[in-house]
Amino acid sequence: MYEEYLSQQEIQQHIRTVNVLMAVERVNASLRGNDPRHTVSCLINSDLQLPEVFPSAATLYHQELQLLLRRTAQGQLHQEELFVAVEMLSAVALINQGLEMGHLQMFGSSLQLMSALMLPSCGLEEVIPANTHRYLTLLTRSRQHKAQMSRDPGAELWLADIQEAVKQANQHSQKALKCELHQL
């Protein structure tokens, strides 16, 4: 009688697969709860092989992933969905982190701000390098306004807030350009 044994490599692959599935289930279970810090601790699990997660943005990850979870037909997120979502949310967290540290202190230069805004994972549309200063000004104002309205000094901008600031900055830039052209 022939018995087939698994090779060491096959056993390791099965163990990795089970570890990923268990880690994903822990994230899904955490998203059904109300503890953003626990969700971040689940996301940081190396078995998931996710992009960098910023613990300071725990609420952002938790709330956005909860929304994504509610939209799924099967009621759970998979590793691939988590990867894409975390990649985008980490880009948003990076922008918020820079705004929190005070204008250009974290970004160091307009170039670094543009790099964060233009990250493909961020998914922002119509980012124009010439408008960097306008983006910084409007993003800072938007964050301050959100903090005042929510009475939360640590309030963070969400992707929609950032996209809206980019859109407004572009509109302001277009209006200024039209005014200059009419004066010529």
Average pLDDT over residues 19-32: 95
CA distance 97 to 127: 19
Q: How confident is the model at residue 110 (pLDDT cuts 50, 70, 90)?
A: low
CA distance 49 to 89: 15
Residue with the larger pLDDT of the pair 105 and 173: 173
Tell me the pTM. Answer: 0.76
CA distance 90 to 17: 25
CA distance 165 to 134: 9
Could you tell me if 68 and 76 are in contact, meaning their C-beta atoms sit under 8 angstroms apart? no
Residue with the larger pLDDT of the pair 110 and 178: 178
For the stretch 117-155, pLDDT in tens is: 888 888 888 999 889 888 988 998 999 999 899 998 888
CA distance 72 to 156: 25
Every domain of the chain and the residues it spans? 8-183
Could you tell me if 57 and 91 are in contact, meaning their C-beta atoms sit under 8 angstroms apart? no
Average pLDDT over residues 64-91: 93
What is the three-class DSSP state of 1? Answer: coil
For the stretch 12-22, pLDDT in tens is: 898 899 999 99
Please name the residue ranges forming H helices in the chain: 8-31, 36-43, 58-71, 79-100, 104-107, 110-117, 132-150, 159-183
Written as six digits, the tokens of 28 are 């899904």
Give the pLDDT of residue 62.
96
Could you tell me if 151 and 173 are in contact, meaning their C-beta atoms sit under 8 angstroms apart? no
